[in-house]
Structure formats: structure tokens, C-alpha cells
């Protein structure tokens, strides 16, 4: 199972957070922690995975 399949909701959330401009994406970890009720370590891992996923194909940011 790919990171995207495992964390689809979180990736969509991060795409929306990026679009909102509320925070620089390097500061997105606390948002994941709070909104998904997860620990800092897991939130960082998800964010790093999302960044790699977007970097592989920039059109991935258009996922809703």
C-alpha cells in the first residue's frame, strides 16, 4: 500500500491547508496533530511523505 493510499485523507487535508495559505507547509505538523489527533512523530512522517508525493508530480496538489 502506498503512502497516498494509507494517508489519503491527510494528503487531501494538506493540499487544502496549502491552498488556504494559513501556514507555510513546513509548519503544518501541529495542524495534523490537532485535526487528526495524532502524535508529533506520526504527523511529521505524514508531512514528509506528502512533500515527497507532491514533489514527484506537482499536479498532485490539485487532488481534492
Task: Summarize the confidence of residues 12-36 as an average pLDDT.
Answer: 95
If you average pLDDT over residues 2-19, what whole number do you get? 89
Mean pLDDT, the chain, rounded, equals 90
How many other C-beta atoms can be found within 10 angstroms of the C-beta atom of residue 34? Answer: 10
Strands (E), 1-64: none
Place 64 in a pLDDT band, splitting at 50, 70 and 90: low
Cβ atoms 63, 12 nearer than 8 A: yes
How many angstroms separate the Cα of 50 from the Cα of each of 22, 31?
17, 14
26 has a pLDDT exceeding 80: yes
Amino acid at each position: 500500500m502506498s503512502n497516498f493510499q494509507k494517508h489519503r485523507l491527510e494528503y487531501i487535508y494538506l493540499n487544502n491547508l496549502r491552498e488556504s495559505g494559513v501556514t507555510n507547509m513546513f509548519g503544518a505538523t501541529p495542524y495534523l496533530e490537532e485535526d487528526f489527533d495524532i502524535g508529533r512523530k506520526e504527523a511529521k512522517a505524514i508531512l514528509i511523505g506528502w512533500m515527497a508525493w507532491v514533489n514527484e508530480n506537482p499536479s498532485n496538489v490539485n487532488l481534492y
